[in-house]
Structure formats: C-alpha cells, structure tokens
Amino acid sequence: MPRVWFITGCSSGFGREIAIAAAKNNDTVVATSRDASKLADLLPLGITPKALDITGGDAEIKAIVDDVESTVGPIDVLVNNAGYILEGAVEECSDEEILTHFDVNVFSQIRLLRAILPSMRARKSGVIANIGSIAGWSGHPAAGFYCASKAAVAMYTEALRAELAPLNIDVTCIEPGYFRTNFLSMSGGHKVTASNRIPDLHAGTQANRDALVAYSGYQPGDPAKGARVIVEALTKSGRCEGRTVPARLALGRDAVEFIGACLEREREMLDSWKEIIASTDCDDVLNT
C-alpha cells in the first residue's frame, strides 16, 4: 500500500528531490511550500502541492494537517526539511534574527509534530525524519546560530526517538554534508545575512564567509542521489532493506569524514583531560 508523505520546504533543494524520489517510489506525496505556485511543476508526477507557512500558529498548522489527512489520507512519513542559514558572527546577530532563525529551523518542526503525531500514535505507526546537518556537530565562524539550530534538531530528535520507540514510530535526524543545491545562495532566502557587521570580527569570520560563497555550486553531493538514499532509508527498502534507521543518519562522503574528525577531536580532548575532568567527583566516590 502506498505511504503518504508530508514534506516541508519543497520549492527547491532537498525537499523537492525527496518529494520526487518518494513519488517515483509509487508513494503518495504532499509537498509543501509557503508559495504553492512554486510546486506546480510537480503535479505531473502525481505530487499534491500544498501551501504551508511553517511559522504559523498551532491552530493554522493543525487545520492544514487535518485537511490533508481527511482528503489524502493519514500521514505515514513526515519530513521536516524547511530551513535556512543565518550568516553572521554571534555578536552581530540580533534577538529578532536569532529567534526567527530558530523559529524556522527548530520550532516549526515541533509545531508540525504536535499536529501529526496524534494520528501516528493512534495507529502506532509512522516515520519522522528531521533534516539536520553536519553543522550540528561543530560550530563555525559566521554560522554559529545555524550550527546551534541543527545541533538542537539532533538533540530533540534523539529524545523524541526514545519517547516514540514503544509506539513503533521511527524517528531520525538526517545530517547531510554539502549537496549541490541553491542552499548557499543568497537568492531564494536560503542564506540570510545579519544586518549588523562588526569590523573587529572580520578576521575571525571572513574566511568562512568567503568559503561558503566559493563552495556554492561546487558542493560534492548530488541531491537526487541523496534523496533516493533518504527514501530507501525511511521505507527500509532497496539498499536499506533489513536495516534499522539510526538516530542520526549522515549523508554524503564529506559527512562521513567531517563527523569522524569531530569524534576524533572530542576523543583526543577526553583522553588528554580525563584525569583533571574526573577529579571533580565527591570524596566518597573518589575513595571507592
């Protein structure tokens, strides 16, 4: 029986490719975007476009989810994909810019979960994939709040996974490396630059800003190939048949290398500091 997918951020990039890959898997796909007209070319693939403002309130989002479930069917797979990069040093970013960034990258996912999970819990079935990033493993200059938002997604996803495991609902955080989408481009709202610039901070941030610009259009990952892996992983089919979806699923050769380097860095720190770190236990613990 075809699954029903509900995917956010489908006007471009990974969201669009995941929608196409799921449709090619003979599943039923509801693709969402703030502007549904940007999804019109997906109609010939049998994909249902839906206007969705992910920053809307709980009542607004629940009404859209209820409409989908009454007209299309119960949602089997939720892919929380929508997000963007806030480029700016930590000190440069305003409260409004940071709150808006987390509202889109983190809080919008949770609002959708609150709307969709009651049906999944009632059926004791479902799959949730929150799109994180390798950026959630390490903070980078001029992208600190993007990294923080993706780390937040990974952490709450791990908790959610444990909470829903007894109900037979799979949960994972997918962490792509750099894929050749328009995500690093200033066009389309995928990368937003903080309005404040502090000259003193240029020495610590400019190299990373320049690297992101230079990398745009030259990322190593193929989003169509990545989307096919995501569909296979979430449906446990093809190359992923018989596998258990992990709590955090890396995507891309560069993700394997980057996350591996982060783990090695932390292991080196623990090994070199362990005696000092462990010396903080209470005396009755130290003496046992």
E strands within 205-287?
Answer: 248-251
Instruction: Give pLDDT, residue 283.
Output: 86
* Cβ–Cβ < 8 Å for 29, 7: yes
DSSP state of 26: T
Instruction: Give pLDDT, residue 217.
Output: 84
The residue from 84, 146, 156, 218 that is catalytic is 146
CATH of domain 4-251: 3.40.50.720
- Count, in order, helices (H) and strands (E) of the chain: 9, 9
Instruction: Give pLDDT, residue 252.
Output: 97
Question: Is 146 an annotated catalytic residue?
Answer: yes
One pLDDT digit (tens) per residue for the chain, 288 residues: 789 999 999 998 999 999 999 999 999 999 999 999 999 999 999 999 999 999 999 999 999 999 999 999 999 999 999 999 999 999 999 999 999 999 999 999 999 999 999 999 999 999 999 999 999 999 999 999 999 999 999 999 999 999 999 999 999 999 999 999 887 776 666 889 999 999 999 999 999 999 988 888 888 899 999 999 999 999 999 999 999 999 999 999 999 999 999 999 999 999 999 999 999 998 888 676
* Cβ–Cβ < 8 Å for 153, 185: no
* Cβ–Cβ < 8 Å for 112, 65: yes
Instruction: Give pLDDT, residue 284.
Output: 86
Q: What is the pTM of this model?
A: 0.94
**Cβ-proximal residues to 225 (8 Å cutoff; 6+ apart), any chain:** none
**Distance of CA 229 to CAs 118, 144, 226, 232, Å?**
28, 28, 5, 5
Task: Report strand pairing: 4-7 vs 48-51.
Answer: unpaired
User: Any idea how long the chain is?
Assistant: 288
Instruction: Give pLDDT, residue 169.
Output: 98
Instruction: Give pLDDT, residue 288.
Output: 67
Instruction: Give pLDDT, residue 275.
Output: 94
Give the residue extent of every domain in the chain: 4-251, 253-288
